[in-house]
Amino acid sequence: MSLAIISALETDEGEELEVRMELDSHADSPVLGIHAHIISHTGNHVTVSGFVDSLGHKKRVPIVDAVIAYDCDVTGQTSLMYICNALYIPEMRYHLLPPFIMRLAGLLVDECPKFLAKRASIRNHSVFFPNNNIRIPLFLRGIVSYFPCRRPTSEELNDDSMLVLDLTPRASEWNPHDMKYSELEASMMDYKGAIREQEEVSGHQLMSIKMDDGDPILRGVSRYLDVGSFASDLQMIASVGMYDWNQSATQNINGHPGMHKTCDVKSSRKRGSVDPNELARLWKIGSDAAKRTLDTCTQLLVRSSQDPTLNKRFSTSDRQLRYNRISANVFMDTFFTSQPDRRGSKGGTRSLRGFGCAQVFVTDFNHTHVVPLNKKGDAPFSVKHYFKNVGVPPAIVCDYALEEMAGEAKKLCDECDCDLRVLEKGTQWANRAERFVKIFKDAVIRDLKESNCPMILWCYCVQRRSDINNATAADNLALEGTNPHTRMTGQTCDISNLCQFGWYDWVYFRDEKASFPYPKEVLGRCLGPSKSFGNAMPQWVLVRSGKVVCVTTLRCLNKAEIDSEIEKSKREDFDKEIKSKLGDSLSPAEVMTNMTPPEEPVDDPNIPEADEVRDINDFDELLGAEVLLPQDGEHMRSATVVKRVLDENGRVKGTYSSNPMLDTRVYEVMFPDGELKKYSANVIAENMFAQTDSDGHQYNILDEIIAHRSTGEALKKEDGWHIDRKGRRSRRLTTRGWYFNVQWKDGTQQWISLKDLKESNPVEIAEYVQKCDLIGEPAFAWWVPYTLKKRDRIIASVCARTKKKTHKYGIRVPNTVAEAYALDRENGNTLWRDAIREEMKNTEVAFKFLVDGEKPPPGYECAPLHLIFDVKMDFTRKARLVFGGHRTVDPEGSTYAGVVSRESVRIAFTYAALMGLDIMAADIQNAYLSAPCSQKYYTVCGPEFGSELQGHVAIIVRALYGGKSSGKDFRDHLRDCMLHLGYESCLADPDVWMRKSHKDDGTEYWEYMLLYTDDCLCVSHLPSAALGDLGKYFTLKPGSIGPPKIYLGGKVSEMVLPNGEKAWAFSASQYVQEAVKNLERQLEERGMKLTVKASAPIASGYRPELDVSPELDPDDASHYQSLIGILRWIVELGRIDICCEVSMLSSHLALPREGHLQQVYHIFAYLKQKHNARLVF
């Protein structure tokens, strides 16, 4: 490596250096300094040394792909220069580039200075790019040639129109010590030292094989009789079948001695045979995009046959792509059970399912997977089971056993691109799985002994133990503070199916097949979760008959059942029968020990399933259900489903579906006043889902407390104190004996105990108790006074914060014109001033200005105007001149503008995709100003009108924002126009307008126009013509007419589905990225930044309701509320992956704490890393 690197590292930091790219013929690779923009890291490193040891060396220098910028002094054009496989040394102030590698890239490099040239020309001392016809002059610094450059800006990197020049070849790797260059150079001369006659060799074509055309007659008989064709085929086959023959030397892999690879031959072309240029040609994408694609993708399955005759059939094996890939190496080992009379025998005591051994898989961070087997020869089955259920690791380490190291197991690993590494004989201690075999054996023996469970159920127990191990967050540095499951999958481990029942716990499960007089609740023993049946929650349960069933509906025994003598006798009889059939923890039953073990596990078809598919006529899940439904079309009332509606033939009206949203059966429901109404099942189900939480629990909202009562259990006032031995008094903490009659929002009334009501509505109870003068009662005296004090503090804090809405999307919003100008001066821009100027220019048409001193006509009322300021979704500033409607009388009737629902928009996108229609959007410019004002008002011009008009009287002749009737005026005006154009309003959504139309082939269809105040969305085969009709009456913004790109803050784009059909996609990526950037700017001012480790929306294990960090001050609280608003809208745009976390943090808007704000920052960090998401219609 060049001495220039060492000198660059030792340059005095105080010296001002021009950023330059020096041409260094002594360097064998490009070297980049601090002033280069790194595109990607290749993951490779090298050690850089000087000419002699005294110069020192630098270890582990990364190899990167990077970009620099070059400014042409003549043309003023800026170009980006791409450099591949460069050494990155950030201590250097300039860069080094070998002319040799530039010439490989096809560049013409002339290093001869012009003053040394015999006939100086522009070609001397320059670099010429033939493909771009660009020449860059070189300069001298001493005797070193260079050209100036700099680090590109972010705007230049994001500008697609920038010219990109390649200084080096776009190769995936660079080996400067490759002998092919010296061989090619030597091949240029013959033995006499003369130049051989060769075809012109370019940098992209280092070798060309010249062959004659051959004999066409021989080629017609057979390709292999023709010399040229035969040589061509041999060359092609050789390029496909090149092999690297590696010695089978013993290696020390991952710290495990005696480990070696079983395969000595590998194809050098088997993996990733496609290059960026070929991929760009096949996919018709840019070369840069192809390079990035290959950096982020694998090509595990390669068609290796290049036989032009297609005589060889392609393999149908695709196991490289069929299974998930994991990044950790895996150890595997087999353990066996033993016969009671022949301990140590590998015949084994077979389990209830016929298993005699099990295969254990373990990773370095202790993630385990257990596969019970019939015999050791089934090891290939266990490997395949692991690949399907967990994933394919880079390598599997096993003992020196034929079943594991050869045969089908090795073949499966080879097909899935998984190395099979075998330990030497006598080194079993190096197998990590050996340790977990002992751990699992000890744990299973302990579970069987403590529960006296039949030992033939060991296969269920060991699988449960493996699941528990994967969910346990042990004190292991390799786990990085999480558990093996999360470490392996990257997903939070859910223990719902593991944490409710212990091993061999008594349970009752529901048997729907049981008929009278047999009970539906059946006693059983829980054996752990079942993963192969039903959903994620079923459990294996041992029943009295000795069989194991998979059930979903089960529960633990309650205290009364545990203590009941009758229940105890049932459990004793159960255990006796199980012991007679299956044995106990010490020995299996005699019938089991003498049975012939089956070669393969057989599924018993007679095993009863607790949750069978039921006949819909046996019973109806909706009957008796209580749900809130609209009774009079406006108010929601609690109603009870009483019966199904039958038609005249006695059949159920409607059609049953297992999906509640598609069930059209009709039911009668009864409201509290006795009125009966009919609703379909899907309407009832929709309301039920909307009124319950994720667990299906319904929450009632308290309307008022009507009355109260107390029973004899309530303590009297004289008994409300407790006196200890030292005479100290303390209040008794009691709520017994008090009940309240409450009325819910749905109109129902109910008596609730103080114990339950105090937890859900403490403030309401405290106020009622204070009103009724019950504070002195022992049930209230210990907590009501403190609740009232806390209530006052919460309300005061909420009021103080809700009044201070100073920011939107994190941007400070002014309240007055003077404050807006002050913010511009503070920020060093004119964004607010420009917004004011633009708004006043647009609203000028709404006024009729009177001469100075002229009074308004009779009958006109004065209404002040003022500017309100806002920040739009794309963070542009907006000033809006609004009407002082709050000081005017309320008009009669509706006063709102039309707003189409999001559901209607999504339906429209789907309709367009199904019908093959186009979609175009447009925005009505100054919508309200296009409608005449229906009210008589005037105003006195303020400073926003300018110094010339300030103080003048102006008559308001157009609708202005803020006027109570402005929305209605514009809607009426737009409605008249739509009716004039032949549209009719949709009954389902009045802001969806439609009219009949037909395509060019005569097909009739409905043309739609969706109106969201002033935004228009047209669905038609000729949407431009439809919008042109509307543009005759309203001014459409020129830049807004076209296919929709942004809708409600989200990006809209047309895409093609895999089946070739066109569809519309909706993405929030642009909005998310802008929101994150804006937050990062704010955090930078505070000396903060977002975390780089955010694999989940919130930190693992964080509970917002348990946060006890300090409360935020009013400014930070307003900041927190603004960020929550942004996140809520991101959820509305389709990011449902953060819906739960945002909902939890939104419940703390009243009293946010520092911990809550940090978790909001965590969500933004997560969105920064994963901003791509879209919905397809």
Q: What is the pLDDT of residue 1057?
A: 81
- Residue 647 above 50 pLDDT? yes
Nearest CA to 869 out of 880, 858, 859 is that of: 880
Of the candidate ranges 131-135, 260-264, 528-532, the one whose mean pLDDT is the lowest = 260-264
Please tell me the predicted confidence (pLDDT) of residue 296: 57
What pLDDT digit, counting tens, does each position of 566-624 carry? 899 999 999 999 888 888 888 776 544 334 333 333 333 333 333 333 333 334 556 66
Q: Say whether 136 sits in a helix, a strand or coil.
A: strand
- Confidence (pLDDT) at 201: 40
Nearest to residue 1094, comparing CAs of 1127, 1126, 1138?
A: 1138
Which of 152-161, 456-465, 664-673 is modeled with the greatest confidence?
A: 456-465
pLDDT given at position 388: 86
Question: Of the segments 589-598, 638-647, 1010-1019, which one has the largest average pLDDT value?
Answer: 1010-1019
Burial group, residue 1084, by CB count within 10 angstroms (0-12, 13-18, 19+): exposed
- CA-to-CA distance for 592 and 351, rounded, in angstroms? 9
Q: What is the residue type of 841?
A: K
Residues 6+ apart with CB under 8 A from 732: 715, 719, 720, 721, 722, 778, 782
Q: Is the pLDDT of residue 99 over 90?
A: yes
Please report, for residues 633, 816, 880, 945, the alpha-carbon distance to residue 842 in angstroms, rounded to integers and kept in the order given.
Answer: 42, 19, 10, 12
Lowest mean pLDDT among 247-251, 547-551, 602-606, 1052-1056: 247-251
Paired sense of beta strands 163-166 and 78-88, if any:
parallel
Confidence of residue 992 (pLDDT cuts 50, 70, 90): very high
Contacts of 61 (CB under 8 A, 6+ apart): 45, 46, 47, 48, 87, 88, 89
Residue 738 has pLDDT above 60, yes or no: yes
Mean pLDDT of all residues in 329-358: 72
pTM (2 d.p.): 0.33
446-482: string of b/e by CB count within 10 Å (b at 16+)? ebbeebebbbbbbbbbbbbbbbbbbbebeebeebeeb
- Mean pLDDT of all residues in 1090-1111: 88
Judged against a pLDDT cut of 70, whether residue 475 lies above it is answered with yes
Percentage of the chain modeled with pLDDT above 90: 12
Residue 1118, judged by CB atoms within 10 A of its CB (0-12, 13-18, 19+), counts as buried
- CA pair distance 901, 1013, nearest whole angstrom: 11
Per-residue model confidence (pLDDT) at position 250: 31
Q: Give tens-digit pLDDT for 269-326.
A: 334 456 777 766 656 567 776 676 666 565 554 443 333 333 334 344 445 556 788 8
pLDDT of residue 463 exceeding 80, the answer is: yes
Query: Rounded to an integer, what distance in angstroms lies between the CA atom of residue 441 and that of residue 421?
Result: 25
Q: Which of 350-354, 417-421, 800-804, 1012-1016 has the lowest mean pLDDT?
A: 800-804
pLDDT for 167 equals 92
pLDDT surpassing 60 at residue 342:
no
Minimal CA–CA distance to 679: which of 688, 667, 671?
667
Span of 466-480, 524-538, 619-633, 856-870 with lowest mean pLDDT: 619-633
pLDDT of residue 1 exceeding 50: no
SS3 168: coil
What average pLDDT does this structure show over 671-684? 77
CA-closest candidate to residue 551, choices 629, 476, 497: 497
Q: Write down the residue that tokens 């200890």 correspond to.
A: 724
Look at residue 68 in the predicted model and tell me its pLDDT: 93
What is the average pLDDT score of the chain? 76
**Residue 203 pLDDT exceeds 80:** no
